[in-house]
Chains A and B, each alone.
Chain A
Amino acid sequence: MTDAIRARGVTVKLGGHLVLDDVTFEVARGEFACLCGPNGGGKTTFLKAALGLVPLEAGAIEVLGTTPGAARRHVGYLPQAKSFNPAFPARVAEVIAANRTGVWPLRVSAQERERARAALARVGGERLLDSPLRGLSGGETQRVFLARALVNEPALLLLDEPTAGVDARGRGEFLDLLAGVAARDDLAAVLVTHNPATVRRLAERVVYLDGRVQAWGPPAEVLDRDGNRPSAFSGQDHDHRQGPMCEDE
């Protein structure tokens, strides 16, 4: 079976600046991986490359055995919390239906509404179906976006710091939910996070990205005992661009 993600020599330049340099790793089907690294290390850029949103300077990414663009329908994506236009009068059922149909529904059909309800039920958020999006808490919003990501029955989830800005309780609930959904549906997942506790709790594999892949393996092998640096760099000088590679959110 093909890998969920297979990156080979991925190099990306943004605005003339080298953001990803010869990045190579893979994530197996059903595997939960965390992307860690300093700010500016290329974590979000890698996710966008895997979604086909940024062009590669060199190398290749296969997603579910095909190109990122062709795989999009089978990939669920969770952006950072509250990254959408806060002025937009969105309702939860519309947000989920839009991901199914590719257009913003002026009226959600009964069929799409039922699909949205079923997706919300998988994340324990059925009661949110008719809620305005802008009235929800950070945790509730990410629950809705997880349902949105699940509505197309993806084989792979890409999550970009989904709990950044969410309070501790909401973060804990969301991560429990995410772990449960990924395990139950045997989903592969790539989660961008700065939080070592999150890495230890969820990841089967960690990729430390600082422009290049600096370390890659099971959390126990990659994280040092403090969880603040990859053990691969213990005792070595390392150019941390902005602080530690993994830190509490």
Chain B
Amino acid sequence: MPELIDGLLSPLGQGFVRRALAAGTALGAAGALLGVFIVQRGLGLLSDGLAHATFGGLALGLLLGATVDRAIWVALPFTVAIALGIQHVRRRTTLGGDVATGVFFAVSFAAGILFLGLRPARSVPVNVEGLLFGSLLAVSPEALAVILAVAALTVVVLAVIGPRLAYATFDPELATLSGVPVAALEYLLLALTALVVVVGVKTVGVVLVSAFVVIPAAAANLLGRSLAGIALLAVALSVGGTAFGLFASYHLNVATGATIILTLGAFFFLALVLRRR
């Protein structure tokens, strides 16, 4: 038995696997905590929309002459602006969050394609697939530091605003009457989601970062009975699914991101079966 465990954990002997595990679990935990509020608010498409908007931001950075690594500093304000734009449309019109997300998602993704096409012919070629799907196993020590900082910031901010944000999620009108700054908290939630998504897209790709936000929170929502319980369960599922998916992909020699998503998906379908009646 010890030999089996040693064998399963042997990938940890390699630095890039340790970095991938740290990056994946940190992003997974931060995404899952945000996801608890995003899913409760019926904004499941938001993270997907912001992830595609990030592509537009990265492409704009490349058009402005930044390297792929530096383009994140353009993508970050670009995606936060898109998130705030979505929230503004939600608050100021009768359109739902999904419609606002759909519009901004399509426009910013199309803008990204346009920005890449406008780059001078002599520019360094860009691997669009790499931009879209990232590579968890290729996380550099510098990128890991950024991910850990963003994840820590997310946890701290949510720990501070969580109880008020939860009240606003239950009933914004009643929360307002109790003195909760509902609008400010909603903008902050979307800006924080944009931050995690941008950092996540750069390292784990569009699809995985959306999965981190939506799937664990959705599965935990099916099983949990209180907000605190749902949050803890979502983080546990996300961290556990990421670790399992990473090791499984290593031993099976298959795509890491896809294996993690399929593991999280399996958790979701298991939760569907086990959900409280």
Contact = CB atoms under 8 A, between A and B. Distances in A.
Is B one of A's binding partners?
yes
A123 interface: no
B255 interface: no
B171 A104 contact: no
Given A88-B169, A89-B226, A90-B170, A102 B178 contact: yes
A45 B170 CA distance: 22
Interface centre among A72, A89, A94 (most CB of B within 10 A): A89
Contacts of A105: 163
Contact of A91 (B167, B226, B230): B226
Contacts of B179: 72, 102
Contacts of B163: 103-106
A87 B178 CA distance: 21
Given A89-B230, A99-B178, A104 B173 contact: no
A87 B228 contact: no
Q: Is the interface of A mostly helix, strand, loop or mixed?
A: loop
A87 B177 contact: no
B122 interface: no
The 5 closest A-B pairs by CB, nearest first: A104-B166, A103-B163, A104-B167, A84-B171, A102-B178
Contact of A84 (B174, B178, B230): B174
16 contacts: A72-B179, A79-B174, A84-B170, A85-B40, A87-B42, A88-B227, A89-B221, A89-B225, A102-B179, A102-B180, A103-B164, A104-B164, A104-B167, A104-B227, A106-B166, A106-B228
Nearest to B228: A106
Given A87-B40, A88-B169, A106 B227 contact: yes
Interface of A: 51, 53, 72, 77, 79, 83-85, 87-91, 94-95, 98-99, 102-107, 132
Q: Is the interface of B mostly helix, strand, loop or mixed?
A: helix
Nearest to B168: A104
A1 B226 CA distance: 45
B85 interface: no
Interface of B: 40-42, 162-164, 166-167, 169-171, 173-174, 176-180, 221, 224-230
A63 to B, nearest CB: 12
Nearest to B225: A89
A51 B176 CA distance: 10
Nearest to A107: B228
Contacts of A85: 40-41, 169-171
A51 to B, nearest CB: 6
A99 B176 CA distance: 11
A85 B163 CA distance: 16
Contacts of A103: 163-164, 166-167, 180
Contacts of B227: 88-89, 104, 106
Given A103-B164, A106-B227, A98 B178 contact: yes
A34 B45 CA distance: 43
A79 B167 CA distance: 15
Contact of B221 (A84, A87, A104): A87
Contacts of B221: 87, 89
B158 to A, nearest CB: 12
A84 B166 CA distance: 12
Contacts of B41: 85
B143 to A, nearest CB: 33
A39 to B, nearest CB: 18
Contacts of B40: 85, 87-88
